[in-house]
Chains A and B, each alone.
Chain A
Amino acid sequence: MTTSNTGAVAPGVTVPEELSNNVMITNIAKLLDPAYNWARRNSIWPMVFGLACCAIEMICTASSRYDLARFGMEVFRATPRQSDLMIISGTVTKKMVPTIVRLYNQMPEPRYVLSMGACASGGGPFKEGYNVVDGIDKFLPVDVYVPGCPPTPQALINGLIALQEKIDQQSIATAPWYRKDDPTAGLVPIPVLGPDLVDLRQLDTIKREAAKAMAEQKQMEEETAVSPKPPDTQSYEIDKDKQ
């Protein structure tokens, strides 16, 4: 394969005479990337994973009027092992989040997470709820957020196109999933259910806060133990009011 010697040459590089008519591929990734990404972006298989109201719009997106098959995404897989994309379609509750994280961990790399709707992105209208996780991004790395409550099918497709554009930006050379020394990298520790949801990455914070709360409680107890004792010390009560 020969071409004319008008090809671009990096500045400061002198090409030997005998090689000037040959194509030199110095960066395989640049050649492969378009093909690699083209293949991946047109076969994103989502998981059958409906959480709440947004799931209905997700199903409508897959049905005949909006037709995800045009993007090669119609193959909804019921198992995480065969899927590339997790559409978090609805409110993430504390009771459900260990399952979601486990499913995410079971998905093979490269895996993508699309947060569909207000609830999945930030808790949505149910944010104040005691059983609602205020955003799946507290646990999983989210690639694309689609706002709306619920996003219309066209808005979801818009998000999926944004995901395709993101995939186009990736390079085979820098893709983290081929260059991993630690096989557990990228996995998220599964949170557990205690008196409330426990994020295992936060154990230190929780312990610190618990110690703080305990100290406060002790102080309170001491105060209540002291206060009824001297009825004549007016100055003490004034001090306490100030505190």
Chain B
Amino acid sequence: MSEAILEAPGSGAPETLANPVEQAISALKERFPEAVVDDPRDGYSGLVVPADKLTEVALALRDDLGFDYLSSVTGVDLIEDGKLEAVYHTYSIDKGGSAVVLHVQVDRDNPVIPSLVPVWPGADFQEREAWDLLGIQFDGHPDLRRILTWDGFHGHPLRKDWKEPFYEEDTKPFGSRWPAGGVLRAEELNPYGQNVQYPAGWVPTGDEYDVETEMYAITGADLAYSIDASQQMKTDKITVNLGPQHPSTHGVFRMVVQLDGETVVDLKPVMGYLHRNHEKIGERNTFLGNIPYTDRLDYLSPISNNLGYVLAVEKLLGSVVPERAEWIRILTVELTRIANHLWAIGFLLNDLGALQTPMLYFYIERELILDFFEALTGARMMNNYMRFGGVAYDLPDEIRGQATMEFLNELVHERLPRAIEQGDNLMTHNEIVRARSIGVGVLTRKESIAYSMAGPMLRASGVNYDVRKAEPYSYYEQLDFDIPVYYNGDVYDRYKVRMDELQQSLRIVRQVLPHLQATEGAPIIDGKPSYAIRTPQPGEAYGRVENPKGELGFYVTAKRRSSSPERYHVRAPSFINLTSLGKMCQGHKVADIVVILGSIDIVLGEVDR
């Protein structure tokens, strides 16, 4: 811990009197008169930018106005207006605060928008996703292929007029469930008995498909010999697949690696093997029904995901959260962060070759945290704990035969610090760990911002940015904690950031516990819990939290008096952090790929959604 360089909160942020977002918006409107206008729709706060001015506006935002961090890119299908819309959220790393939101609307039949990859390389995967799911063409994108579905997939599933094979009704609840009765399996209605649907008149032969060729072509796997100048030896580049079933990929993730000898020339992540259509299902669900689905995004930190979604919808609903509920939220979210980092560090060491030992030591403590969650929420993993305007349950009486507060006190004052110290002694100064991780997978400060990195990835590259400080939510402003920042941007620093975050999370939990004791018996939810939730006003909301993996954002739009979101998009930190994987791996050996991937700490449920 002695090597930690902790930055004081808010240091380096110049004090500005006016809101930086308003400043930037007025500056943009001044610079692009008539082209850039306020969004005229009710409940929308951003700017409408014409497609041909987008690149200029983005450059102005990045270079002149200080909004240098592109957090989220997504699309919306405005079927009633016959338009497709791309939505960009840009933030300022230095100033913090909320986002400048850009809306670009194009014709639904010819949706062409200039790509922002030349401005922000971090837009790469997000634009590919918008192309894949909504069919927005990004002009000038270097590699506009499908990313979550496969090449050759029929249609763009997130368009409102695209119906999936098991389509029943547009919004839940389905009328067929009650009071008609009679169990109706969706496959019984489909002529194929499976979740498939083919374009009319399509007749297969079974051997005409080749969804892989294009992917290999893009990695530049040409079979020509390249000549190594030093040794005058003919070498051949080979293409190797890691995954989708591979012990090191943390799930069903695939990397197409091009190797020269043992050195990585190029690496392309291939994902979508766990694409569970979260957003399509979410647009049909009721607002409440989406909460348990968010558990399954980043399934190592479910409560954190709940919080992000609930914050976004609370903005739409205008709920007020009672004090005790806020403290419980922070308690659970920080314990989730600890559980997640224990897992992530254990697995990183597993990838480094310390097979299972650190992992198994950390699991014992993680199980204790899960015991707490199980007693509190009823489930070990899929907690489904947050509600709009509060939380679902109050703290339980006892956990494993101990009073709850006693259990928590002992956990955060004795068990967890001891386990973290043991892990620190076991790993931090281990020469093998240092040799394998120092200087591996380096990402500079500039690159990490350009690639829209988030969370420990960003902070290991010397960027002091944490949503809890930059745009505080819940009661984080009242709490005293530091943001660990390291400056080398390699695997070792990411490990150190996580180790320090464990300490900081413990520090936060220790501050929360007295508040919990003081608010014993106070209400935990605003008003009476209701299942029929409707938005009072139309509008958009973007809720973001600092998840263990990075900035998790939920972009939700709704019409007036609607019970389900019109558009529901998840800005998944794991997914966007993978954008830089190819860049980080270039020039390293094959064995380092596994370590670099481990240091990003991805969860496939969130990558593919």
Interface residues, chain A, CB within 8 Å of chain B?
A: 48-53, 55-57, 60, 63-65, 78, 90-91, 93-96, 99, 103, 123, 125-134, 138, 149-150, 152, 192-200, 202-203, 205-207, 209-211, 213-214, 216-217
Contacts and interface: CB of A to CB of B under 8 A. Distances in A.
Nearest to B298: A53
B274 A51 contact: yes
Given A194-B204, A196-B197, A99 B245 contact: yes
Given A93-B274, A125-B281, A199-B194, 20 more contacts: A57-B381, A91-B276, A94-B195, A95-B149, A96-B274, A129-B195, A131-B275, A132-B276, A134-B187, A134-B194, A152-B380, A195-B153, A199-B192, A203-B204, A205-B192, A206-B198, A207-B204, A210-B203, A211-B203, A216-B200
B164 A150 contact: no
A217 B276 contact: no
Nearest to A130: B164
Contacts of A213: 200-201
Given A64-B360, A95-B272, A127-B195, A52 B299 contact: yes
Contact of A209 (B192, B209, B293, B608): B192
Nearest to A211: B203
A192 B153 CA distance: 12
B277 A130 contact: yes
Contact of B251 (A52, A125, A209): A52
Contacts, number: 183
A10 B209 CA distance: 61
A6 B192 CA distance: 60
B97 interface: no
Given A57-B380, A150-B381, A194-B152, A123 B247 contact: no
Contact of B381 (A56, A65, A127, A138): A56
Contacts of A192: 206-207, 209
B360 A128 contact: no
Given A90-B274, A96-B274, A203-B204, A150 B382 contact: yes
B201 A130 contact: no
Contacts of B364: 64-65
A124 B340 CA distance: 25
Nearest to A123: B195
Given A49-B245, A78-B247, A195 B202 contact: yes
B604 interface: yes
A240 to B, nearest CB: 21
B104 interface: no
Nearest to A65: B367
14 contacts: A51-B251, A53-B382, A56-B300, A56-B381, A64-B364, A65-B367, A95-B150, A129-B195, A129-B276, A152-B380, A193-B211, A198-B196, A198-B206, A207-B203
A63 B363 contact: yes
A174 B306 CA distance: 52
Contacts of A202: 192, 194
Interface of B: 148-150, 152-154, 157, 164-168, 186-187, 191-207, 209, 211, 244-247, 251-252, 272-277, 280-281, 284, 292-293, 296, 299-300, 359-360, 363-364, 367, 380-382, 604-605, 608
Top 9 nearest A-B pairs (CB, nearest first) are: A129-B277, A195-B154, A130-B164, A53-B299, A78-B247, A96-B273, A126-B276, A213-B200, A196-B196
A127 B281 CA distance: 10
Given A53-B605, A64-B364, A125-B293, A130 B273 contact: no
A91 B274 contact: yes
Nearest to A77: B247
Contacts of A152: 380
A63 B207 CA distance: 43
B153 A196 contact: yes
A207 to B, nearest CB: 6
A134 B195 contact: yes
A84 B376 CA distance: 38
Nearest to A97: B273
Contacts of A194: 152, 198, 202, 204, 209
Contacts of B367: 60, 65
B349 to A, nearest CB: 14
Contact of B201 (A131, A199, A214): A214
Given A125-B293, A195-B154, A213-B201, A64 B363 contact: yes
A210 B605 CA distance: 34
B308 to A, nearest CB: 18
Contacts of A131: 148-149, 157, 272, 275-277
A193 B277 contact: no
B381 A53 contact: yes
